[in-house]
Structure 1
Amino acid sequence: MNRRAPLMLQIVTGDPRPIIRQIADGIKRLVAGGDLQPGDALPSVRGLAQQLSVNPNTVAKAYAELTAEGWLLSRAGLGLYVAEQRQRLSDPERARRLDEAVDRFVGDVIGLDYPSDTILDRVAGELSHYAAKKTA
């Protein structure tokens, strides 16, 4: 496809995550949700930095992290592209990261005092958006 895909990312100043993490997580969501397809070109480091009003080094670090994890593919002289979908992590590493994410999530929502069913329904609803886009 190799089309230049616009990135609909936002940096939230009140977010406790560093900007690099917000950028990386945002791109992962776009890929997982099907908004970015394998072969789609990403904006240049400078272009995305200007769009988000952040330092180009911040974008470069996020892109480097995503490339190292297999989400993006660097083509010399041509830029960065979304890599083909594949299992990027070993099964034990996936399980470890899931455990960490669940621990963080529970720590974040436990004080909100919602019933477990409400929380689980919201998570299931959010995940269903991604499953629907992948099968479409």
Structure 2
Amino acid sequence: MSRTKALMIQIVTGDPRPIGRQIVDAVRMKIATGELVPGDQLPSVRGLAQQLTVNPNTVAKAYADLVAEGWLEARQGLGLYVAPPRQRLSDAERERRFDEAVQRFVHDVLPLDVSVDEVHARMDAEFRALTPRKTA
């Protein structure tokens, strides 16, 4: 039987995203980078709520969203586990979300007067910093 994996995430009070969204995004990132792998058990709703000092209903909603999206799977009477990898979005939805993210990024970075070469170098460094955890 697998042990519960500690979920080291932080909630940022100044973040414009709601707390539940911050939890969802943090868990997704930990799975995408390989910090959480299929079969890892997540803390209980109550346990994570206590750790983050947030309402358990917020954690329950975040976990429910992650289950609905296919990132986690609920095992009756056992808890929540990282689900095996699968394509979670249709190709069209994946493309739409990617386009939306790129547009947001470009509109945020363009006013900073940063060169394209600087943007490429920074993006490359950020991806390189994350990918070793995924493949290791």
User: If the TM-score is normalised by the length of the shorter chain, which range does it land in?
Assistant: over 0.9
Residue identity opposite 1:18 in structure 2 = P
Q: Is the 8 A contact 1:32 1:130 kept in 2?
A: no
TM-superposed CA distance for 1:112, in Å, is 2.5
Q: Which runs of 4+ in 1 moved over 4 A?
A: none
Q: Which runs of 5+ in 2 are unaligned?
A: none
| 2:123 match | 123
Among the aligned pairs, what percent are the same residue? 64
Structure 1: runs of 5+ lacking an equivalent: none
Asked whether 1:44 is paired with 2:44, we answer: yes
> How far does the alpha carbon of each residue in 1:39-82 deviate from its partner, in whole angstroms, 9 at most, with x for none?
00000111111111111111111111110000000011111000
Task: Answer whether contact 1:70 1:83 (CA < 8 A) is retained.
Answer: yes
Residues 76-96 of structure 1 deviation map (CA, whole Å, 9 limit, x = unaligned): 111100001111111111101
> Retained in 1: the 8 A contact 2:71–2:83?
yes
Q: How many residues align?
A: 136
Shift of 1:14: 1.3
Within 5 Å, give how 1:54-133 maps onto structure 2. 54-133=54-133
TM-score (norm 1): 0.92
TM-score (norm 2): 0.92
SS at match of 1:74: strand
Q: CA deviation at 1:127?
A: 1.6
